[in-house]
Amino acid sequence: MPMPFYPEPAYTHGQAPRTGVLLCNLGTPDAPTPSALRRYLGQFLSDQRVVEIPKPLWWLILHGIILRTRPRKSAAKYASVWTPEGSPLAVWTAKQAALLHDALEDAGHHVLVRHAMRYGNPSIASQLDALKAEGATRILILPLYPQYSGPTTASVCDAVYAWAARTRHIPELRFVNHYHDDAGYIDALAASLKNHWKRHGPPDKLVMSFHGVPERTLHLGDPYHCESHKTARLLAQRMGLQKDDYQVTFQSRFGKAKWLQPYTEPTLVQLAQSGVERVDVICPGFSSDCLETLEEINQEAREAFLHAGGKEFHYIPCLNDSPGWIAALQGIAQQHLLGWPTQAPDRMVQASAKAHALAGGAPEGA
């Protein structure tokens, strides 16, 4: 039986087409509770882009073990970073969307900007529906993942394609795959380092921690490992760092498979044991502070480094709502919006009417 199409919003002839931008982030539970984590993890870990294990076997592991034990532990971790406004990831992503809208507006681009989560709320499908209802006939999908990877960027594409498969009148779609080497993005990272070092001085070692993925994805052609290292290299060059001044690591392992190495926390322990007294940790692959940066790095990794003999641990926050990051997003969006109409809706109506009149032979201004 074919899947039903989503109901289409009412269409008005002569309605000016609009352009939309959808910022997409990974996702977050609705609350730091076991029940909310069970729903969130169930959706996240059911994605075959995230866990590439044969589906029947993984279903038994996921529902028989993981979703029975992990939600309570994860809920406690989320509770340690939850804010009065909600999940840090949700708060920062919403702010980024609002600030990007204002930046584009100030630059003369009157576009709709919304944000969505690949897992959790607001969903990608619901936000695409909302953009269509607001008149968007062209939509730019902008994942908040600077480095491309199958479990992140490609999974966003999957969600958009799934929505399109059930949509009768599909808008024109464009996707931003990566911007790991974008000059504005590198400048924003450099500015955050400079601001921190201006206040605290440089460390003995800078650790650039990226989210991990299974090592097999590298051998299967995923460019994430290479793009992460290129980001690190460009940032180091921008800061005038030598190879011995910084270390690239990968965090957030899941399961027993071999993931990209070196791993972040063991590396920090080794640095402390080798006599490194102060480390600064930055997470260039995360656009917003979240559980993986605030709890895993600034709590667990900090404790591991200090317990192993380190003296000072400085976590440098993600780009969040920094002016440099918003400017970088604006530049990336503008680059990929080229050729699409982004003027005010009333001007588009006037332009459309003028073109129609000229095509029909009516005198200009009639």
Q: Model confidence over 69-96: pLDDT tens digits? A: 999 999 999 999 999 999 999 999 999 9
Per-residue pLDDT at 347 exceeds 80: no
**Helix ranges restricted to H, 242-301:** 264-273, 291-294
- The region, left, alpha or beta by phi > 0 then psi within -120 to 50, assigned to residue 201 is left
Q: Give the pLDDT confidence score for residue 257 in this predicted structure.
A: 87
Q: Check residue 123 and report its DSSP letter.
A: B
Q: What percent of the chain has pLDDT over 90?
A: 88
Candidate CATH numbers 2.40.50.140, 3.20.20.10, 3.40.50.1400, 3.40.50.300; the one for domain 183-316? 3.40.50.1400
What are the extents of the domains in the chain? 17-28+89-178+333-366, 33-81, 183-316
Contact 171, 136 (CB under 8 A): yes
The per-residue pLDDT for range 278-311, each reduced to its tens digit, is: 999 999 999 999 999 999 999 999 999 999 999 9
Task: Tell me the pLDDT band of 135, cut-offs 50, 70 and 90.
Answer: very high
Helix 183-200, helix 323-337: angle, nearest 10? 180
Contact 302, 264 (CB under 8 A): no
Give dist(CA 355, CA 347) in Å, integer. 12
- In this structure, what token pair is assigned to residue 203? 């460390």
211 is in an annotated binding site: yes
Task: Tell me the pLDDT band of 361, cut-offs 50, 70 and 90.
Answer: very low
- Identical topology for domains 17-28+89-178+333-366 and 183-316: yes
**If 0-12 CB within 10 Å is exposed, 13-18 middle and 19+ buried, where does residue 256 land?**
exposed
Give dist(CA 94, CA 116) in Å, integer. 9
Count Cβ atoms below 10 Å from residue 176 Cβ, excluding itself.
24
Neighbour order of strands in the sheet with 246-251: 246-251, 205-211, 278-282, 312-316
- Based on its alpha-carbon atoms, the radius of gyration of the chain, rounded to whole angstroms, reads 23
Task: Tell me the pLDDT band of 2, cut-offs 50, 70 and 90.
Answer: low
Helices (H) and strands (E) in the chain, counts: 14, 8
Give dist(CA 284, CA 90) in Å, integer. 18
- Considering only CA atoms, which of 289, 278, 193 is closest in space to residue 235? 193
- The SS3 of residue 206 is strand
Average pLDDT, stretch 148-177?
Answer: 97
Q: Give the pLDDT confidence score for residue 109 in this predicted structure.
A: 97
- In this structure, what token pair is assigned to residue 94? 């919403």
Q: Give the pLDDT confidence score for residue 256 in this predicted structure.
A: 82
Name the least confident of 33-47, 98-112, 342-356.
Answer: 342-356
- In this structure, what token pair is assigned to residue 169? 């009148």
Q: Which CATH class is domain 17-28+89-178+333-366?
A: alpha beta
